[in-house]
Amino acid sequence: MVMGNHGDPWFALDKAEHFVACFAITVAAATVLGFVRKELRGWLRLALGSLLGLTAGALKEFGDATHLLPSDGASIKDGVADVLGVSCAAIVLYYYFYAHNKHKDKSRENLGGGSRSSNTWEDFQLSTISEDV
């Protein structure tokens, strides 16, 4: 497998495209999973979305390496941008699910429904996007 790293700067439009594409695929997959399978917990949607984002990045690099796609070849730097995009998406999703549960807890308290413990891993696991709708 030939890696086309000659003249492949770390900060280039190509790297931004890899980052944004993997970020968007991860967020979109986790969001769609919440609407399609309402019983899926936040952590599982995050894991599946991240897996899909990484798979898309890996398939793109495989296509570049085997010249199935028109490009200058596969690049480690593109792969790093893919991983960074998925990682940033996972962080954003984690905090979205976490903040979503904190908001639900406050709503329950205001309605006199008691409160669950907050700021825990369980809060993240119990979150669902479908309850936003």
- Give domain status of residue 68, yes or no: yes
Question: Helix, strand, coil % (nearest 5) of the chain?
Answer: 70, 0, 30
First-last CA distance in the chain: 47
Q: Is the pLDDT of residue 1 over 50?
A: no
Q: Is the pLDDT of residue 122 over 80?
A: no
Q: Which residue has the higher pLDDT, 99 or 62?
A: 62
Assign 2 a pLDDT band (cuts: 50, 70, 90): very low
- Give domain status of residue 114, yes or no: no
- Give domain status of residue 99, yes or no: no
Domain count across the chain = 1
- Give domain status of residue 105, yes or no: no
Distance from the Cα of residue 88 to its chain's centroid:
7
- Give domain status of residue 110, yes or no: no
Helices (H) and strands (E) in the chain, counts: 4, 0
- Note the pTM of the prediction, 2 decimals: 0.70
Mean pLDDT, to the nearest integer, of 63-82? 87
Q: Is the pLDDT of residue 119 over 60?
A: no
- Give domain status of residue 48, yes or no: yes
> What is the domain extent for residue 81?
13-94
- Give domain status of residue 122, yes or no: no
- Give domain status of residue 106, yes or no: no
Please provide the average confidence, as pLDDT, over all residues in the chain. Answer: 78
pLDDT digits (tens, 9 = 90+) for 59-71: 999 998 888 888 7
pLDDT digits (tens, 9 = 90+) for 6-57: 677 888 888 999 999 999 999 999 989 888 877 777 788 889 999 999 999 9
Distance CA 18, CA 40 (A): 28
Looking at residue 91, its pLDDT comes to 94
